[in-house]
Amino acid sequence: MILLGAGSSVPFGIPGMEGFVTRFLNQGILLWPDLNECVNSIKGAIDESVTAIGFRLTFDLETLLAVLSDLSGDAKKKPISIPTATLLLKESLNIEKARLKYSDKATLTLDRLREFIFSECMQPIENGKEKGNFGTLDWFYGPLMTLLNRTGLENIQAPLRNIYSTNWDLCFKTWMDYTNTPISDGVGIDKQSFPVFDVTEFDRDATRTKYVALHGSLDLVGVSRPKGSGIYRDIQKISDPLGYFQGKPANIRSIFMIYPLEAVGYEESVKSPYLDLLNHFKNALRSEDHIVVIGYSFRDPTIGSIFEEVIGERIRKGHLRPLSEDLNSRKNEVRNHTMKIIVINPSPEKLAENMKKQSHANLLQTFVPIKVRFPEVSDPEFFVNYKLALSELGKDLEAIGYLSSDDRLRIAKTLNSRYAQFRTPGENWWGL
């Protein structure tokens, strides 16, 4: 299985959690000076979170969304999240007074932030449409998925048919459509011919690749989510988001189907369908031998706790063995292990430090880090840098026993044929 985090969308110019806020604030200073005071107050409280609550929060998209959601006019009597508590403590306010003070500006800022998120996430899709194809998505996902699949994309192997994501954007799903790869995203048709979100749809057709958006997706429009027999009604499936979302959406609140993040709190995180998606994810972790994580920080404590629980189970069953503390030694140690948790990340040392802080002991002692930084597709040197990155990734995957030398030769042949326009005569993708 593959778990895609925010870092897997960075090559298309979609920022990570902190990058989103930086861009939003840079834009907001010019466009919405009246809202700066509200955002700066939130930032000041988050920056001083150690003093207020005893541990450090990061001022990023997740925490900003949480506070704005808590203080907006839509919140009413909703319990507050930990980031909002830091603001209340810093300003010596109770929640009623805080909402009275910030409600209007928080509501307006939240709507503008949603519009901004939508715009940033849809930009790669807009670019693909303008050019008449989505080749830029294929330049990144095609070679990467060919490598992970150990062969071409024509027959995706069963272990790689489980794709989980914490991203909201449509890049991966659009690429799957572009390559005519059958995909199941949990949307079915009910007896009245209405589209509904049904978790059982993921497993209805074993030949389709499952794409499970753990934190929601921008092509699912959430109005309300009453549960009935595992089906979540009143969710409209937008088969052509560009046809529906020409220009700015009329009501930005209606397009978001984003489930709870780290900062939102227990009450929201146990609601369906979020809970059912997490159970689906847990069951996959219990059965998979190769778990590939790309660009994910493990910051969501709910997903982190699921990893901890399942890894603990599999250690006790003998499926996994703890590795040495030296991250660089792990590639050799894990070569003959049946089960591998492969984490592709540009900063594995920082990732390990975050795991320590969050007490992810089981994950910390079992993951195999592969240090790779993928370039953005807009980079003039993208193809040169990407081929170098994939070459190093291929070598590391062979070193840990995920690929054989025959696999790499077969992959090189596939890539040389499919992406011949991006190589010079006599060159191949792997330097073999």
Q: In terms of domains, do 30 and 57 share one?
A: yes
Q: Which of 121, 151, 184 is the last residue of a domain?
A: 121
Query: Which amino acid is residue 386, in one-letter code?
Result: Y
Is 432 domain-assigned?
Answer: no
Q: Is residue 196 part of a domain?
A: yes
Rounded to two decimals, what is the model's pTM? 0.85
Provide, rounded to the nearest whole percent, the portion of the chain with pLDDT above 90.
32
Residue 323 contacts residue 334 (beta carbons within 8 Å): yes
Check whether residue 57 and residue 79 sit in a common domain. Answer: yes
Average pLDDT of span 13-42: 83
Q: How many domains does the chain have?
A: 2
| Residue at which a domain ends, from 93, 121, 149 | 121
**Among 48-52, 188-192, 262-266, 405-409, which is the least confidently predicted range?**
262-266
Same domain, 147 and 94: no
User: What's the half-sphere exposure (Cβ side, CA atoms, 13 Å) at 329?
Assistant: 6
**Could you tell me if 175 and 226 lie in one domain?**
yes
Question: In this structure, is residue 429 part of a structural domain?
Answer: no
Residue type, 276: D
Same domain, yes or no: 101 and 147: no
Structural domain span for residue 147: 2-12+131-422
Residue 430 falls inside a structural domain: no
User: Residues 296, 413: one domain?
Assistant: yes
Which residue, 121, 144, 173, sits at the end of a domain?
121
**Concatenated DSSP letters for 39-97?**
HHHHHHHHHTHHHHHSSPPP-SHHHHHHHHHHHSTTTTTPPPPHHHHHHHHHHT--HHH
Helix boundaries (H) for 317-381: 330-333, 348-357, 361-364
Per-residue pLDDT reduced to its tens digit, 84-130: 999 999 999 998 899 989 989 998 898 888 888 888 888 888 777 66
CB neighbour class for 301 (10 Å; exposed up to 12, middle 13-18, buried from 19): middle
- In this structure, the answer to whether residues 93 and 137 fall within a common structural domain is no
Residue pLDDT, tens place only, 123-144: 888 777 666 667 888 889 999 9
Tokens of 188: 């079915």
pLDDT recorded at residue 80: 82
* Residues 291, 73: Cα–Cα separation, whole Å: 41
Residues 8 and 35 in one domain: no
What is the rounded distance in angstroms from the CA atom of residue 258 to the CA atom of residue 241? Answer: 16
Domain check: are 215 and 232 in the same one? yes
Q: Are 84 and 208 found together in one domain?
A: no
**In this structure, is residue 36 part of a structural domain?**
yes
Contact in structure between 402 and 340 (CB atoms under 8 Å):
yes
Tell me which residue has tokens 């109770």: 94
Check whether 344 has a pLDDT greater than 90. yes
pLDDT at 246: 47
Same domain, 109 and 180: no
Tokens for 108? 């307006």
Tell me the mean pLDDT in the region 151-166. 80
- Check: CB of residue 186 under 8 Å from CB of residue 232: no
20 vs 250 pLDDT, higher one = 20
- Report the alpha-carbon distance of residue 235 to residue 164 in Å, rounded: 20
Work out the mean pLDDT of the chain and round it to a whole number.
Answer: 81
The verdict on residue 35 lying in a domain is yes
106 and 8 fall within a common domain: no
* Residue 176 within a domain: yes
Residue 213's identity, in one-letter code, is A
Using pLDDT thresholds of 50, 70 and 90, give the confidence band for residue 195: low
CA distance 196 to 187: 6
| Confidence label for 4 from pLDDT (cuts 50, 70 and 90) | very high
